[in-house]
């Protein structure tokens, strides 16, 4: 873990904090705040609509960590209340709202994963939930808040404009979202707010509301949305183009080796501390060498102490069609066999932890995503016999390119 550096010159801080940034509103305001010599309050709001994170989320968390290492306090704001509204940013239709209980359950998983990147010292980390100040607001409070911003300005949002022109409904509660997020900045007296480029409008609303509440307006910093492994859209679990923040070292290494060549610069800039000169040198060389250094840098960052050589050797073995060493051993209970001594492939997939349910397992098999001892299985109604499971060395079951387990028969 890096040491907290509270006396770094302002010019050097700005250069560190500008790396990979898309919008900075404004650099002059940031400089003035830093020149005061006091720790800044840096806000990141996150609506815990999903319980899992990927490297796309790590981009902003990494920027937060840079603020922490420079001696500033970051505020991890869990939008447990705003998640019930549903952020309309970039959405072509109204999002279904969540309950407060659902958002808080997701938040715990979210926070556990954030700890992989953020420092935990109380002087540089503050954890808050926006239900603290939004839930107690009464109807009169909401009217006063809405009086501080015009409908015309809210409708300047690109996604709202597109939906209006397309005749797609916009619910009234969605119009309140930017105001409630902006009010978070007022409640926290934020000096800086971070977000993805899709959050620029919402963050600027916070800047405007702070001015209206006689506070010094926050600096707004946005970072790009990390493009996923398909090379076309942002990284997303729903698009299956992601690398999970908690993926095992070998899986993370393999995923980073698949980053499309045109995205290497973006990944190096946003996910590593390599100097620009070194990045240029790598990009000018062989793509495989660049991928290898990217994979080793990111895995070492998120898995300190991981055996990088072992992760790389496993990737090479799998890339050549081999079976890596030290794969999980799964014992199939004799009681799971039917009267004829058989067990379905779908059940084996679930027992091996490759899919959560028989239905998902059958879909995997139907899509030709399952192999047994290197042979593709395409029959979702297929099965294995007792003799096959009891054979010497067992059976190796494989999902995709790098999920393995060795099956054996137990009592």
**What residues form the annotated binding site for ATP?**
237
**HSE value, Cβ hemisphere, 13 Å, CA-based, for 325:** 4
Quick one: tokens of 410?
Answer: 């137990």
**CA-to-CA distance for 21 and 285, rounded, in angstroms?**
26
Residues flagged as binding site: 237
Say whether 371 sits in a helix, a strand or coil. strand
Quick one: tokens of 7?
Answer: 């006396």
Give residue for tokens 């509270």: 6
**HSE value, Cβ hemisphere, 13 Å, CA-based, for 180:** 29
Q: Which long-range contacts (CB under 8 A, 24 or more apart) does 349-358 make?
A: 349/397, 349/399, 351/407, 352/328, 352/397, 352/405, 352/407, 353/328, 353/405, 354/397, 354/399, 354/403, 354/405, 355/399
**CA-to-CA distance for 151 and 392, rounded, in angstroms?**
72
**CA-to-CA distance for 138 and 267, rounded, in angstroms?**
45
Answer for the pair 192, 41: CB distance below 8 angstroms, yes or no: yes
**CA-to-CA distance for 163 and 89, rounded, in angstroms?**
12
């Amino acid at each position: 873990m890096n040491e907290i550096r509270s006396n770094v010159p302002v010019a050097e801080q700005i250069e560190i904090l500008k790396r990979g940034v898309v919008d900075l509103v404004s650099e002059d305001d940031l400089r003035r705040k830093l020149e005061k010599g006091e720790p800044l309050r840096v806000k990141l709001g996150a609506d815990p609509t999903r319980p899992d994170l990927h490297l796309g989320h790590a981009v902003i968390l990494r920027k937060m960590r840079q603020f922490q290492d420079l001696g500033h306090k970051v505020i991890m704001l869990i939008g447990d209340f705003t998640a019930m509204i549903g952020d309309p940013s970039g959405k072509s239709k109204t999002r279904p709202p969540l309950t407060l209980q659902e958002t808080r359950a997701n938040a715990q998983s979210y926070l556990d994963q954030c700890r992989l990147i953020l420092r935990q010292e109380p002087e540089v980390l503050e954890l808050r939930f926006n239900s603290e100040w939004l839930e107690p607001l009464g109807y009169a409070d909401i009217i006063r808040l809405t009086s501080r911003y015009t409908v015309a300005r809210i409708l300047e949002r690109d996604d709202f404009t597109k939906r209006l022109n397309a005749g797609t409904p916009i619910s009234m509660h969605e119009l309140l979202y930017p105001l409630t997020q902006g009010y978070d900045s007022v409640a926290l007296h934020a000096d800086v707010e971070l977000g993805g480029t899709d959050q620029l409008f919402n963050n600027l609303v916070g800047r405007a509301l702070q001015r209206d509440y006689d506070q010094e307006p926050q600096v707004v910093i946005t970072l790009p949305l990390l493009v996923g492994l398909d090379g076309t859209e942002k990284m997303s679990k729903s698009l299956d183009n992601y690398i999970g923040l908690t993926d095992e070292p070998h899986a993370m290494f393999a995923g980073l080796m698949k980053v499309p060549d045109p995205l290497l610069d973006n990944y190096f800039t946003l996910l590593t501390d390599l100097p620009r000169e070194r990045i240029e040198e790598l990009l000018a060389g062989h793509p495989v060498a660049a991928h290898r250094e990217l994979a080793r840098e990111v895995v070492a960052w998120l898995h300190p102490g991981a055996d990088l050589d072992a992760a790389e050797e496993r990737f090479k073995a799998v890339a050549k069609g081999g079976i890596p060493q030290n794969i999980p051993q799964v014992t199939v209970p004799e009681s799971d066999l039917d009267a004829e001594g058989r067990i379905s492939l779908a059940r084996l997939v679930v027992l091996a932890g490759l899919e959560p349910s028989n239905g998902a397992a059958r879909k995997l098999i139907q899509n030709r995503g399952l192999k047994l001892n290197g042979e593709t299985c395409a029959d979702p109604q297929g099965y294995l016999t007792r003799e096959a499971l009891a054979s010497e060395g067992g059976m190796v079951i494989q999902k995709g390119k790098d999920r393995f387990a060795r099956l054996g028969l137990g009592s």
